[in-house]
């Protein structure tokens, strides 16, 4: 089941821009280690779900994880080989707009080297560049 809001006020939303620096959610709130975005971009619901599955499998019940982003923005798409006009396309997927500096995932209760390898694995699944951050060594 994909991540998506239970209810929304409007089904379709304008595209908007993905620029600027994150001023909120830019530091660790829950865990000891985290994954911070270095680029602006959009992260789809299936990217987040793939990261969650990897985290759950690798943690095996040890430690704790937090996902700090939620895909609440709808993206529409028109069918291939369709002429222009005839209104906006149907809803295709959900995204979260990520600005650089945003902490996406947090982990605690595991050794630092394991956390680093774990967050490196999920960084491969994301469409934005990221870096490993730690509460102990500062950010």
Alpha carbon 37 to its chain centroid, in Å, reads 9
Report yes or no: 96 and 43 within 8 Å, Cβ to Cβ: yes
- Helix H, strand E, coil C: the string for 88-106 is CCEEEEEEEEECECCEEEE
Report yes or no: 3 and 71 within 8 Å, Cβ to Cβ: yes
3-state secondary structure of 72: coil
Structure confidence by residue, pLDDT tens digits, 45-54:
999 999 999 9
Copy the structure tokens of residue 15: 């595209």
pLDDT given for residue 122 in this prediction: 96
Could you tell me which residues come within 8 angstroms of residue 41 by beta carbon, excluding any fewer than 6 positions away? Answer: 18, 97, 98, 127, 128
- This prediction's pTM: 0.91
Name the phi and psi angles at 89, rounded to 5.
Answer: -70, 175
Structure confidence by residue, pLDDT tens digits, 68-127:
999 999 999 999 999 999 999 999 999 999 999 999 999 999 999 999 999 999 999 999
pLDDT given for residue 1 in this prediction: 65
Copy the structure tokens of residue 79: 């069918």
Helix and strand numbers, DSSP H then E, in the chain: 2, 7
List of domains in the chain: 33-76+90-134 (3.90.1170.10)
The DSSP 8-state label assigned to residue 127 in this structure reads S
Question: Which residue, among 34, 48, 18, 39, has the nearest Cα to 125 in the 3D structure?
Answer: 48
């Amino acid at each position: 089941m994909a991540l998506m809001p239970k209810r929304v006020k409007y089904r379709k939303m304008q595209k908007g821009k993905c620029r600027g620096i994150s001023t909120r959610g830019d530091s660790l709130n829950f865990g000891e280690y985290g994954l911070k975005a270095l680029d602006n971009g959009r992260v789809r619901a299936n990217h987040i779900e793939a990261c969650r599955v990897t985290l759950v499998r690798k943690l095996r019940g040890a430690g704790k994880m937090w996902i700090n982003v939620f895909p609440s923005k709808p993206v529409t798409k028109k069918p291939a080989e369709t002429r222009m006009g005839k209104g906006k396309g149907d809803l295709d997927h959900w995204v979260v707009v990520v600005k650089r500096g945003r902490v996406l995932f947090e982990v605690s209760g595991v050794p630092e080297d394991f956390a680093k390898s774990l967050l490196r694995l999920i960084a491969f699944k994301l469409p934005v560049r990221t870096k490993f951050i730690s509460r102990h060594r500062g950010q």
